[in-house]
Amino acid sequence: MHSNRLTKLVKATSRLPPSIRSTLLSKTFGRVVPMVGSAKIRYVELSPDKVVVTIANHKAMQNHIGQVHACAMALLAETATGFVMAMNVPDTAIVLIKSLKVDFKRPTRGAMTAVATLTSEQQALMQNSDKGETLVQVTVTDESGEAPIQCEMLWAWIAKDQLKKSS
């Protein structure tokens, strides 16, 4: 199994009770990515093939009609897909979102959950290539269990030293 700093951190917390683990990882990642911390995104499940994150329908993330704001929903999907990518690239690489598309299908109800997944083929490609790109599957649902939005997230990875050369 592939191992990088992120997977080692997740594994180190695996023996903690789920609620403590979620709180610890959420606070840690919220410090690394301040916007994620401000949105109070919770990390429910983290593995190389699946990441589950949630956001409550709290006042700071609401739109004008009391629902989770469109940008907060996009952030939730981007966070889930980005973290599943980060679980699979070597420490010598960085992940970057290339494009995101969000279609809003209906009003939301309550809290939101995003589930991002990678196939074994996608994981192998990331673990064995210096750079590349892939569409990451993500489903975002609300408390009704329905998907009020549909997302398409295209992510890339590149060696950190190549990123420095291109900037």
Read off the pLDDT of residues 84-142 as tens digits, 9 standing for 90 and up.
999 999 999 999 999 999 999 999 999 999 999 999 999 999 999 989 999 999 999 99
Question: Region 21-32: what's the mean pLDDT?
Answer: 86
Give the bridge partners for 145, in sequence order. Answer: none
**pTM as predicted:** 0.92
> What DSSP string describes 9-22?
HHHHTTTS-HHHHH
Query: What contacts 17, CB < 8 A, 6 or more positions away?
Result: none
Place 46 in a pLDDT band, splitting at 50, 70 and 90.
Answer: very high
The pLDDT of residue 161 is 87
Give the bridge partners for 47, in sequence order. Answer: 50
Give the strand order in the sheet containing 50-55: 42-47, 50-55, 112-117, 132-142, 149-159, 93-104
Question: Region 33-51: what's the mean pLDDT?
Answer: 92
Q: Over 60: is that where the pLDDT of 80 sits?
A: yes
Convert 85-101 to b/e letters by CB count within 10 Å (16 or more is b). bbbbbbeebebeeeebe
Query: What contacts 41, CB < 8 A, 6 or more positions away?
Result: 26, 29, 30, 53, 54, 55, 75, 76, 79
Q: Over 70: is that where the pLDDT of 166 sits?
A: no
Residue 80: name the closest of 134, 43, 106, 112 by CA: 43
Place 167 in a pLDDT band, splitting at 50, 70 and 90.
Answer: low
